[in-house]
Amino acid sequence: MDASGAAGTFSAPYVDFLILADRAEAVNGKLYLMGGAWDQYTLGTPTTLARFGVAVAVNVPWTHTNEHHRLELRIDDADGRAVTPVLPFDFQVGRPPLLAPGAEQRLLWAINGDWRLGSAGAYAVVAALDGLDRRRTGFQLLIKAETGGATPSSP
């Protein structure tokens, strides 16, 4: 659906959502999150790896099925520089026999990792679809020693 609530008005695949979580799993078309939708992450030291998950959904309109697409995820710093390698996901969606003509299809990914970020500050997980940045989810990285003893928000 678009912002007005009308179905089928998107002409290209789009990133429907991008969520940060302590852990994420995508199983049989359903998303399972533990500690989801946070926007601050605290580390004990700058050299500690940040362990968290990213959940992303891509909707593919009927007119873009049976085509090759590429989703790329990365983490950018506050200056827009990538601080992690790009994670590529190549995919192609077919049309199942019982799918109604014009229907969109949703694909889910859950990526859990240990991310080396390095210093406190603003970051964003970026989802690029078919070469264009489509969605960003920002978060603040806090370092416990710099926050005066902040309690970690994630394991």
8 domain-assigned:
no
pLDDT at position 2: 44
2 in a structural domain: no
Residue stretches of the chain with pLDDT short of 50? 1-8, 151-155
Q: Rounded to 5 degrees, what are φ and ψ at 5?
A: 95, 0
Asked if residue 26 belongs to a domain, the reply is yes
- Residue 129 falls within a domain, yes or no? yes
Whether residue 6 is contained in a domain is answered as no
pLDDT attached to residue 152: 47
| pLDDT at residue 133 in the model | 86
- Say what the pLDDT of residue 72 is: 98
Domain of 102 in residue numbering reads as 14-146
CATH number at residue 95: 2.60.40.2550
pLDDT score for 146: 53
How far apart are alpha carbons 60 and 26 in whole angstroms? 17
* Structural domains in the chain (count): 1
User: Would residue 5 count as lying in a domain?
Assistant: no
Residue 41 counted as domain residue: yes
Report helix, strand or coil for 51.
strand
- The set of residues, in sequence order, having a beta carbon less than 8 Å from that of 34 and lying 6+ positions away, is 21, 22, 23, 24
- Six-digit token pair at 62? 């009927």
Which of 126, 113, 85, 109 minimizes the C-alpha distance to 26?
Answer: 109
* Residue 9 within a domain: no
Task: Say whether pTM exceeds 0.75.
Answer: yes
Give pLDDT, residue 34.
98
Burial 124-137 (b: 16+ CB within 10 A, else e): bbbbbbbeeebbeb
